[in-house]
Structure 1
């Protein structure tokens, strides 16, 4: 139980974002050998991973567990839609869902992005969990959040209420993506039947591939993909509706 308690402390620290071993020791109050031993063991289990700077961060296994627990029609149909979107744009296409302070990849295209993470793995892998504290996907996932959720999210976020107000007005977010180094992302919301944002549809590419600002072609492709997701869901459960056509 003592080891589990210590592991839980590390997970709680990393919910706010990546941290070095020195930071984990300082925040947890544990000794350096104990912190290192537990963190490395959790890394072997896939509960933690490391970013390009060697800092510890939440690992893909946590996301996979969440995906399995909440496995739904959207996760089933997203693959082909995202693959088609990637082929159409030449960009990586992903679908993210927020769980508390995390954004979890619940759908990903075949790797169309030319970057890899520190472990040499596709950063868009299904089940990958990252803090929802920065980037266009996180902004979309928080822009329409309830006030209490928004307050908690903004405590650790690198975006501001003013930026989220712009996202709500435009119905999209665009900019650097911390999930993939040197990448730029364009994100649009996918809404539940209630009108709440259920997922963020995210297109990601290197800075050289992405336009300076979202153009009509990029916006149309994302809107068509959202519509395709909606059609597939309606044929199944009718649970979700698209965010609406963007930039048309």
Structure 2
């Protein structure tokens, strides 16, 4: 069955192919008959909206948005973020993001930007490496040992840094992911105490300084606690 809307029909074909069994790009092309570039573009686009999820093995699976739509319930973490992130942005006057680990990357799942001034804009859906930045340090610090070893093999930070992050409960970075940008992040835990996300404040180094944790850690930890409370 087709709708006559080409891109929509192709996207649905990708969803159906992945729902049958998780697959990588080569398998996806075989199942859908789509050119490699088209299949990749559609899969990445669906992934950005949470319709697909790519695991550590590089294979796509049905994503959390499909479950949310089917159940009629929103992601509780996103609901919590909509209430907490704008307040943290107003307190700090800086850009605020919420990251969730997805395989070997982290994904920005929510953000709040100041209305004016120089900002560190990270659009929702942006995928960033786990090898640099305060958000990466937080998500890696409480990850399973095997994942930590894989990250540390290529990261700009070492095991000692992750130990410090766990000890003090937050992480900071200066010009690690992007020149001229500093950030500080804290872990967000679910009801069981497991780290499920990292909440971050970021902005120009010239404005927030080279020790952003000294300035914003307390507010950030309060925001992380507020998110956990809502979860």
TM-score above 0.5:
yes
Does the Cα contact within 8 Å between 2:94 and 2:119 map onto a contact in 1? Answer: no
Q: Hey, what does 2:11 align to over in structure 1?
A: none
| Match in the other structure for 1:68 | 65
Deviation at 1:181, TM superposition (A): 4.4
CA shift in 2, pair 1:125/1:177, >3 Å: farther
Which runs of 5 or more structure 1 residues have no equivalent in the other structure?
9-36, 48-59, 117-122, 234-248
Q: CA deviation at 1:147?
A: 1.1
Structure 2: unaligned runs, 5 residues or longer: 1-16, 18-23, 30-34, 54-63, 69-74
Instruction: Say whether the 8 Å CA contact 1:62–1:129 is kept in structure 2.
Output: no
Distance in 2 of aligned mates of 1:82 and 1:199: 13
Is the contact between residue 182 and residue 209 of structure 2 (CA under 8 Å) also seen in structure 1?
no
The Cα of 1:154 is off from its aligned counterpart by: 2.1
> In structure 1, what is the Cα distance between the partners aligned to 2:159 and 2:139?
13
Deviates more, 1:132-141 or 1:167-176: 167-176
| Aligned counterpart, 1:201 | 199
Are residues 1:160 and 2:158 paired? yes
> Does residue 5 in structure 1 map to residue 26 in structure 2?
yes
Q: Secondary structure at the residue paired with 1:74? A: helix
Choose which of 97, 101, 110 in structure 1 pairs with 2:100: 97
Other structure's SS at 1:142 match: helix
RMSD of aligned C-alpha atoms?
3.1
* Equivalent residue, structure 2, for 1:126: 124
Question: Superposition pairs for residues 9-48 of structure 1, below 5 Å?
Answer: 45=42, 47=44
- Per the alignment, residue 89 of structure 2 pairs with 86
The equivalent residue for 1:185 is: 183
Shift of the alpha carbon at 1:216? 5.3
Residues 84-127 of structure 1 show CA distances to partners (whole Å, capped at 9, x for unaligned) of 111110111111111120101111113567247xxxxxx42222
Within 2, Cα distance between the matches of 1:187 and 1:137? Answer: 5
Distance 1:44 1:150, change over 3 A: closer
Cα drift, residue 214 of structure 1:
3.6
Shift in CA distance, 180/85, structure 1 to aligned 2, threshold 3 Å: farther
Question: Which residue is 1:18 aligned to?
Answer: none
Change (3 A) 1:106 1:133: same
Cα pair distance change 1:198/1:110, threshold 3 Å: same
Cα distance, 1:231–1:178 mapped onto 2, change above 3 Å: same
Name the TM-score, length of structure 2 as normaliser: 0.67
- The separation in 2 between residues aligned to 1:169 and 1:183, in whole angstroms, is 24
What's the offset of the Cα at 1:230?
2.4
TM-score (norm 1): 0.63
**Structure 2 Cα separation of the partners of residues 135 and 181 of structure 1:** 11
What do the CA deviations read for 1:33-58 (whole angstroms, capped 9, x no partner)? xxxx966x5786583xxxxxxxxxxx
